[in-house]
Chains A and B, each alone.
Chain A
Amino acid sequence: MNSVPIYEIEEQDISSRDVLSLPEYRIANRPFFMFGNTITTGAVIVPYIQDPIALAASTTICSGLVVLPSLEMDSIEICTVPAVRVQYNNRTLINEFLNTIGQNLLDQIIDLIQSNSLRQGWPLSYIDIEYLEDIEIEDWHYVLLNLIFDTTFEHAEIILCQCYELLDELSETLNPEAQEILQQRLYLNAGTIL
């Protein structure tokens, strides 16, 4: 069986790539696996795959390997892709506001969005999480997850609605306390870098 030599992939220079160009690394419709904050994609390198594949070696968010056992070893290559970057605006306040249950829930939501982004090929550039106090209403605080897409605003809105559905499915699996946090403290928002 034909295979692509590893060295051809490793020779690609990714050192100058900005993290905002992460969609370049995405391998559509490939199986993925998650280890904590890491998403690992097993990429099958066979002649019919036309897309260039880059090995993105991020020391902070990328680790772990997956072997697809049903395939011959000379036909597969393992590559990892970085999870979508997450940035926090005032993380201390976010953690205090959400408490331990809320923090775990936030991590779950981020994992859910990252994994679906990878699986469905969303043009998600990064996630910006901010803690806000309402400008008019005293003591009304909330955490906003801004999903920043590299696409049109209209397309981002469509994906946001898909995320709403994912959160609703997640909500059904939560205990009442976590559900309450999801309903009263966490909100999704979409933006674009275009």
Chain B
Amino acid sequence: MPELYYESINPEDYLQLAKSLSSQDDGVAKRTAADRAYYAVFLSGRELLSEKGYLTPLNSERDHEKVVNKLQEAKLLGSYGSQMLRLRLARNQVTYNLNKLYRQPSGHSRSLNWMIDAAEKLLERIKALPENNTS
């Protein structure tokens, strides 16, 4: 039997981890929480869209684009799917910009509370999507 490195996971659990980390008064914990909030909805969304017959994942980095674009389709979330890209843009800031992040008019940074809330709401809507019977 090969050595087990990682257990399988339910990506939705990342959201619980994000909430837990968000209460810590620590920049690293908060950024990790923000990153996990995005991944919770991206990975769960990808799996759910696949299970419901909307998407064939590539299991690569291209899936980020596929999930965002798929969600914007009229029969899925429509324009509300923009929330997924907003979440991603906020996550990109948190992950790659190590400087202090402020709210700016056209900036992409968002508060951790907003990110967790957006992830929860997106996940709720994706779960509520019916099975795709047209493909």
A interface residues (Cβ-Cβ under 8 A, vs B): 128, 130, 132, 134-137, 140, 142, 144, 146, 148, 153, 161, 163-165, 167-168, 171-172, 179, 182-184, 187-189, 191-193
Contacts and interface: CB of A to CB of B under 8 A. Distances in A.
A164 B103 contact: no
Contact of A188 (B62, B73, B79, B106): B79
A153 B86 contact: no
B103 A153 contact: yes
| Chain B interface category by residue count | 20 to 34
A144 B88 CA distance: 13
Q: In terms of DSSP, what is the predominant structure of the interface of chain B?
A: helix
Contacts of A146: 105-106
Interface string B1-18: 000000000000000000
Contacts of A153: 103, 114
Given A135-B96, A142-B85, A179-B74, A191 B105 contact: yes
Nearest to A135: B92
Nearest to B64: A137
**Max chain A Cβ within 10 angstroms of own Cβ: one of B65, B82, B86:** B82
A168 B74 contact: yes
Q: In terms of DSSP, what is the predominant structure of the interface of chain A?
A: mixed
A192 to B, nearest CB: 7
B61 interface: yes
B72 interface: yes
B79 A171 contact: yes
Interface in B43-75: 61-62, 64-65, 69, 72-74
Interface string B91-130: 0100010000001111110000010000000000000000
A164 B78 contact: yes
A184 B85 CA distance: 11
Given A140-B65, A184-B72, A128 B85 contact: no
